[in-house]
Amino acid sequence: MKLNTEILSKAATEARGLAMDAVQAANSGHLGLPLGDAEIGAVLFGNALRFNPDDPHWINRDRFVLSAGHGSMFLYSWLHLSGFDLPLDEIKRFRQLHSKTPGHPEFGETPGVEATTGPLGQGVGNAVGMAVAAKMCEARFNTSDHRIFDHKIVCLAGDGCLQEGVAAEAAAFAGHQRLDNLILIYDSNNVTLDAMAKVTQSEDTAERFCAYGFDVAIVDGHNMTEFLAAFDKAKNAASGKAQFIVAKTLIGKGIPEVAGTNKAHGEAGVKFVDAARKAIGLPDEKFYVSKDVRAYFAERKETHKKEYSAWQEVFKGWRAANPELANTLDQGLSRSVPTDLLSKIPAFDPATKIATRKAGSEVLQPIAEEMPLLVSGSADLHGSTLNYIKGGDDFTPEHRAGRNIHFGIREHAMCALLNGIAYHGIFRPSGATFLVFADYCRPSIRLAALARLPVVYIFTHDSIGVGEDGPTHEPVETVSGLRLVPNLDVIRPADPEETAGAFAAAMERTDGPTLLALTRQALPNLSEAPAEIRRQGVLRGGYVFRKEDGNLKVILLATGSELQHALAAAKQLGAGVRVVSMPCFQRFDRQPESYRNQVLPPECLKRVSIEAGTTPSWYKYIGLNGRAIGIDRFGLSAPGGEVMKALGIGAERVVEAVQGLG
Ligand SMILES: Cc1ncc(C[n+]2csc(CCOP(=O)(O)OP(=O)(O)O)c2C)c(N)n1
């Protein structure tokens, strides 16, 4: 579309005004990016991006991710002007309680916001994940007669994002995977927060991205014609490479007292706003949008609607011609999961002794068959994490329908990409590494939980059971630490049947992520409780695995590989001892009080827990008079069984603890 620079310059000025007024009203927020990137916003939202403000979830819309989430007023202004359901009143309530304009963009709070961003670099990872998902969509759903997916993923990132390791990991992956549907715009303004960027960076970022395998263009970010030309070139590039546009900008443009310096980054420019507004030609009226800018965007919206309607026609034809594919797509969009998932997972041999990672591998296969949009990746550890979807092929530039993603040794990016795949809204992402490396993933896990994304983490080699690799590889505090993340379900199954329940629980959850902590070492199938009880028990988070004989005197609680020890101890202790399996604290805590009290009767205060990890998280169940057996130190390097013994994880300690309760 021809670029109307006259009206878009005016729109850029008014967008600057909206940012100034909103940040001034809130007395908080970041002016630098919204002012510095106003022309970029005008071109993207006023000309280049394809979307429909009336249907912000349109599956073939271009996705725009503001990785530099601190510049949120940039996004809010352009979404408002574009005609999304973000009225001016919401712009006026920037950063106020329950507004649609929170401090940083939050997924689900504001129409048009595609990802929760602010922790720098994450948005770049999300965008790469979206680009993966978009490629998968093209391969899985487009047909020779109907091309229903051809959208682009556009990401705006600053120096801060690109300094972060997660963005480097994600970019290396994108370059390697030749994700040519990704356009990464680098707001290169030579400024970060504390200082000029030269204080902390001297790399040639353009060369760096060139080395990753991107096509690179360098443009003046205030020259709309030049920027659009680069954008169009990136959009239509035939190189098969991911696209990187370096846009040279002046941070805080419009407030001369701070522009071009780190003072422009935050709200320091606010005190100069009144004069600045006048100087750029804005009237005294705050939150001003002219009639002709309104009219331009109203017309633009009509164009969007026409494109959308044309696409709907193609989509209708596609649906009619491909009912099975359409059904699969609908399943993905509604995140629906077969209700009888557990019945598709064959029971394990009761006499089997098998690691829960191995059980997980077996459980994953029928689930993957039932859920064709489930994809599974690993950070170079498929051979150990065993989460490869057999017959699912690899996701590669040549084969975009592959369901197994080789993330490389890039755990942080893996999890940011998984979030991106989930944000994209069609595929169900899962990813794997060793549990101890959850620390490398944690910022993205936290965001998945915050943004309520149904991501599944298949993390293996839990606890000191890892053994010979030693304390660097033995997670002791990891499970407890992850239990602190709100809205993250952490499941540590005790045997193969609980593993089946754990996978079903993870798949059926649609409003947040689930982390599965699986063992490297073989565990007995605890078949003294029926398989169905164990599977269903996991879905409730905790359950009575072994009911006491006679009156209840003591409750033993355990998860994972230690449930066997609690059971052995109960046998030694005799009557009155109940064993509760508690694979998922969060699911248990969501149960009705009556159920929780049934499992853990409040009158029974003699309680002992055992878990091969740090103990603090247990006291909410065992109380201050209870005893928590665990490992409040780092592990040891030796065969796993010996480490367990040396650190006192076994039935004897449980028996002693119960006897010590008096
Ligand atoms: C992971 C992370 N670390 C630190 C911050 C705090 N922070 C917000 S913006 C910023 C500087 C970013 O610089 P740049 O991307 O160049 O943004 P600009 O100054 O151009 O707006 C920092 C350090 C953050 N949001 N996320």
Q: Which residues pair with 354 in a beta bridge?
A: 523
Instruction: Report pLDDT for 236.
Output: 98
- The first and second tokens of residue 413, run together, are 């990016």
Give dist(CA 492, CA 563) in Å, integer.
10
Say if residue 481's pLDDT is above 90.
yes
User: CB–CB of 513/347 below 8 Å?
Assistant: no
Instruction: Report pLDDT for 583.
Output: 98
pLDDT band (50, 70, 90) for residue 285:
very high
Q: Tell me, what amino acid is at 180? A: D
Q: Tell me, what amino acid is at 501? A: G
Q: Which helix (H) or strand (E) holds 207?
A: helix 205-212
Q: Tell me, what amino acid is at 290? A: S
Q: What is the pTM of this model?
A: 0.98
The torsion of the CA quartet 225, 226, 228, 230, rounded to 10 degrees, works out to 160
Say if residue 300's pLDDT is above 90.
yes
Instruction: Report pLDDT for 337.
Output: 93
User: CB–CB of 18/80 below 8 Å?
Assistant: yes
Give dist(CA 403, CA 287) in Å, integer.
48
Say if residue 589's pLDDT is above 80.
yes
Say if residue 339's pLDDT is above 90.
no
Q: What is the per-residue pLDDT across 132-157, written as a single tens digit (0 to 9) for each?
A: 999 999 999 999 999 999 999 999 99
Say if residue 131's pLDDT is above 90.
yes
Instruction: Report pLDDT for 86.
Output: 98
pLDDT band (50, 70, 90) for residue 639:
very high
Query: Does the CB atom of residue 259 touch ligand 1 within 6 A?
Result: no
Give dist(CA 212, CA 565) in Å, integer.
50
> Any idea which of 260-269, 479-488, 583-592 has the lowest mean pLDDT?
260-269
Phi and psi dihedrals of 250, rounded to 5? -105, 110
Give the nearest ligand 1 atom to 443 CA: 1
Query: Does the CB atom of residue 501 touch ligand 1 within 6 A?
Result: no
Query: Does the CB atom of residue 160 touch ligand 1 within 6 A?
Result: yes
Say if residue 645's pLDDT is above 80.
yes
Q: Tell me, what amino acid is at 105? A: P
Mean pLDDT, range 362-373, rounded to an integer: 98
- The first and second tokens of residue 15, run together, are 């967008």
Half-sphere exposure of 178 (CA within 13 A, CB side): 11
User: CB–CB of 507/374 below 8 Å?
Assistant: yes
Q: What share of the chain is helix, strand, coil (3-state, %, to 5)?
A: 45, 15, 40
**Ligand 1 midpoint to CA 29 (Å):** 12
Q: Which residues pair with 355 in a beta bridge?
A: 522
Half-sphere exposure of 534 (CA within 13 A, CB side): 23
Q: What is the per-residue pLDDT across 97-128, written as a single tens digit (0 to 9) for each?
A: 999 999 999 999 999 999 999 999 999 999 99
**Ligand 1 midpoint to CA 71 (Å):** 9
Query: Does the CB atom of residue 33 touch ligand 1 within 6 A?
Result: yes
Query: Does the CB atom of residue 229 touch ligand 1 within 6 A?
Result: no
Query: Does the CB atom of residue 35 touch ligand 1 within 6 A?
Result: no
Sign of torsion over alpha carbons 15, 21, 24, 26: negative
Give the nearest ligand 1 atom to 251 CA: 20
Instruction: Report pLDDT for 662.
Output: 75
- The first and second tokens of residue 346, run together, are 């064959």
Question: Whose CA is closest to 589, among 565, 621, 612, 557?
Answer: 621
Query: Does the CB atom of residue 103 touch ligand 1 within 6 A?
Result: no
Phi and psi dihedrals of 184, rounded to 5? -100, 120
**Ligand 1 midpoint to CA 162 (Å):** 10
Give the nearest ligand 1 atom to 121 CA: 1
Give dist(CA 429, CA 186) in Å, integer.
27
Give the nearest ligand 1 atom to 33 CA: 21
Compute the C-alpha angle 256/259/262, nearest 5°: 140
Q: Select from 106, 265, 267, 450 the residue to mutate for testing ligand 1; criterion: most ligand atoms less than 8 Å from CB.
A: 265
Compute the C-alpha angle 173/179/180, nearest 5°: 145
**Ligand 1 midpoint to CA 68 (Å):** 7
CA-closest residue to ligand 1 atom 25: 119
Give dist(CA 287, CA 332) in Å, integer.
40
Q: What is the per-residue pLDDT across 45-94, written as a single tens digit (0 to 9) for each?
A: 999 999 999 999 999 999 999 999 999 999 999 999 999 999 999 999 99
Question: Whose CA is closest to 245, among 157, 184, 286?
Answer: 184
Give dist(CA 210, CA 137) in Å, integer.
27
Say if residue 304's pLDDT is above 80.
yes
**Ligand 1 midpoint to CA 163 (Å):** 9
Which residue is it, tokens 């530039």? 397
Which residue is it, tokens 């689900």? 108
CA-closest residue to ligand 1 atom 13: 192
Give dist(CA 551, CA 603) in Å, integer.
12
User: CB–CB of 612/640 below 8 Å?
Assistant: no
Active-site annotation, residues: 411
Instruction: Estimate to the nearest angstrom the gap between the alpha carbon of 91 and the chain centroid.
Output: 27
Query: Does the CB atom of residue 73 touch ligand 1 within 6 A?
Result: no
Query: Does the CB atom of residue 252 touch ligand 1 within 6 A?
Result: no
Question: Whose CA is closest to 466, among 561, 569, 348?
Answer: 561
**Ligand 1 midpoint to CA 128 (Å):** 20
User: Beta strands 353-355 and 522-524: pairing type?
Assistant: antiparallel
Q: DSSP character for 436?
A: G
**Ligand 1 midpoint to CA 188 (Å):** 13
pLDDT band (50, 70, 90) for residue 257:
very high
Query: Does the CB atom of residue 265 touch ligand 1 within 6 A?
Result: yes
In terms of phi and psi (left: phi > 0; alpha: psi -120 to 50; beta: otherwise), the region of 167 is alpha
490 CB-near residues (< 8 Å, 6+ apart): 479, 482, 483, 514, 515, 517, 584, 585, 586
Q: What is the per-residue pLDDT across 191-250, written as a single tens digit (0 to 9) for each?
A: 999 988 999 999 999 999 999 999 999 999 999 999 999 999 999 999 999 999 999 999
CA-closest residue to ligand 1 atom 8: 70
